[in-house]
């Protein structure tokens, strides 16, 4: 398994990974319409919309196993937008490696804090990785999230 920078040609595979993984693990974490909209956005055939969203990420890495993208993390120096790992690859350290890579890149960019709107499913993962809850559970575009942050030095 290798970590590498995201390439535009990865867009469709990464979008599918996000949509499929969200559907599997987060589909009960918000109102049905918001969940459906999120999944449909990433499962869309309008890949140009996804490319526009992905282009907002200044930090973007994928985890690749035997040529298959099995995980991803994207955001900017002080905020993680997405971190997903295929379900069959959970508990293998891929999420940890992606998060560590993201944090190292944030440090290079002189950031000293990283924020995330964690899913309820991923909350304990981020807690284990040193993130602390900022507030209680909130709704973000109809989806339940747990705002968290980590001071990085």
pLDDT digits (tens, 9 = 90+) for 92-114: 999 999 999 999 999 999 999 99
Give the integer Cα–Cα distance in Å for 46 and 103: 31
The answer to whether 123 touches 149, Cβ cutoff 8 Å, is no
Residues 9, 12, 13: CA angle, nearest 5 degrees: 90
The answer to whether 148 touches 116, Cβ cutoff 8 Å, is yes
Listed residue (95, 101, 78) closest to 150, CA to CA: 78
**Tens digits of per-residue pLDDT, 81-97?**
999 999 999 999 999 99
**Tens digits of per-residue pLDDT, 22-71?**
999 999 999 999 999 999 999 877 889 999 999 999 999 999 999 999 99
**What's the whole-model pTM score?**
0.94
Q: For position 128, what pLDDT does the model report? A: 97
DSSP string, 3-31: EEE--GGGHHHHHHHHHHHHHHHSTTSB-
Q: For position 43, what pLDDT does the model report? A: 85
Name the CATH topology of 2-151: Aminopeptidase (3.40.630)
User: Where along the chain do its domains lie?
Assistant: 2-151
Query: What's the mean per-residue pLDDT of the chain?
Result: 95
The answer to whether 131 touches 124, Cβ cutoff 8 Å, is no
**What average pLDDT does this structure show over 122-130?**
97
In the block, which residue shows the tokens 């993130």?
131
């Amino acid at each position: 398994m290798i970590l590498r920078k995201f390439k535009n040609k990865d867009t469709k595979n990464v979008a599918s990974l996000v949509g499929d993984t969200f559907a599997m693990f987060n589909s009960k974490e918000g109102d049905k319409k918001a969940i459906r909209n999120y999944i449909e956005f990433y499962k869309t055939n309008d890949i140009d919309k996804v490319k526009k969203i992905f282009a907002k990420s200044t930090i973007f890495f994928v985890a690749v196993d035997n040529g298959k993208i099995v995980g991803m993390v994207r955001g900017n120096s002080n905020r993680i937008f997405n971190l997903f790992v295929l379900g069959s690859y959970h508990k293998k350290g891929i999420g940890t490696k992606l998060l560590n890579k993201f944090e190292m890149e944030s440090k290079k960019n002189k950031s000293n804090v990283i924020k995330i709107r964690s899913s309820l499913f991923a909350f304990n993962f981020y807690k284990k990785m040193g993130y602390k809850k900022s507030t209680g559970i909130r709704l973000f575009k109809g989806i339940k999230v747990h705002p968290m942050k980590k001071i990085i030095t």
